[in-house]
Amino acid sequence: MKQKAYIYRSFERFWHWMQALSIFFLAATGFEIHGSFTFFGYQNAVKYHNVAAYTFIILIVFAIFWHFTTGEWKQYLPTTKHLKAQINFYLIGIFQNAPHPTKKTVLSKLNPLQKLTYLGLKILVIPTMVISGLLYMFYRYPQKGTIEGLNIGTIEVIALFHTAAAFLLMAFVIVHLYLITTGATITSNLKAMITGYEELEAHEAPENEDLKNEKNEVEV
């Protein structure tokens, strides 16, 4: 028996969708800067890319604050328990209608493979992309009427790191879009990130009173 549970809070959903929009916009303007296509025009693409980058960084700062003040950072603690079973499920079991090896709960929203993937994104891929992007932006910048430069011999290495991180992030997005469709129904995971509610096994869902408190709480 399944019961509806409030899984994703309002800021979590806002952060998720804003992050998605930022990543897509940064990718579009970034590819245009690289000359892959022309839409905004090179100068506008650079300007829009920089503005979107600052917006993304601000969003990251708020997200970090929210994760640590709510304790949600614990969702990303890696574990090897059921990891092999989870990999086998995605490679084989999912095509044979096999049962999911792990169960989602309010306190554990991510399976072992998701935890490792998201942790890698948060401590490696995104920091690499942000830091390399900032170095790229400030390699040469106006300073009191002169042009000051960071003590870097060439921006080629920075550009390579930035582009590599961007491609890894886009690869994650593509896989993520596919996995969204692998829920109980093709749209159930998408609906959950829009409404905040998802159907869980009754013993895994919070009590009704907890649901009421969750709905009435003032969220960060």
The model's confidence at residue 172, banded by pLDDT at 50, 70 and 90, is very high
In this model, does residue 215 exceed pLDDT 60?
Answer: no
The mean-pLDDT minimum among 93-102, 123-132, 207-216 falls in 207-216
The answer to whether residue 191 scores a pLDDT higher than 50 is: yes
Structure confidence at residue 203 (pLDDT): 55
Task: State the DSSP H helix or E strand holding residue 157, giving kind and residue range, or none if neither.
Answer: helix 156-180
Q: What predicted TM-score, i.e. pTM, was given to this entire model?
A: 0.80
Listed residue (88, 7, 19) closest to 53, CA to CA: 19
Work out whether strand 140-143 and strand 2-6 pair parallel, antiparallel, or are unpaired: unpaired
Looking at residue 202, what is its pLDDT?
63
Give me the pLDDT at residue 146, please. Answer: 55
With a cut of 50, say whether residue 145 has pLDDT above it. Answer: yes
- Relative orientation angle of helices 83-91 and 112-120, to the nearest 10 degrees: 90
**Residue 58 DSSP SS3:** helix
- What share of the chain in percent tops pLDDT 90? 57
Sign of CA dihedral 34, 38, 39, 44: positive
Chain center to CA of 26: 14
Residue 220, pLDDT > 80, answer no
DSSP, collapsed to helix, strand or coil, labels residue 81 as coil
Q: Higher-confidence residue: 33 or 219?
A: 33
Domain covering 2-216 in this structure, CATH number: 1.20.950.20
Q: Is 149 helix (H, G, I), strand (E, B) or coil?
A: strand
- Which residues face 149 on adjacent strands? 140
Q: What is the 3-state secondary structure (H, E, C) of 45-57?
A: HHHHHHHHHHHHH
CB 3 within 8 A of CB 205: yes
What are the structural domain ranges in the chain? 2-216
The whole-number pLDDT of residue 144 equals 53
Residue 6 sits at φ, ψ, to 5 deg, of -85, 100
Residue 214 has pLDDT above 60, yes or no: no
Query: Mean pLDDT of all residues in the chain?
Result: 85
**DSSP assignment letter at 122:** I
pLDDT tens, residue by residue, 69-123: 999 999 999 999 999 999 999 889 988 888 888 888 888 899 999 999 999 999 9
Q: What per-residue confidence (pLDDT) applies to 208?
A: 42
Higher pLDDT, 210 or 24: 24
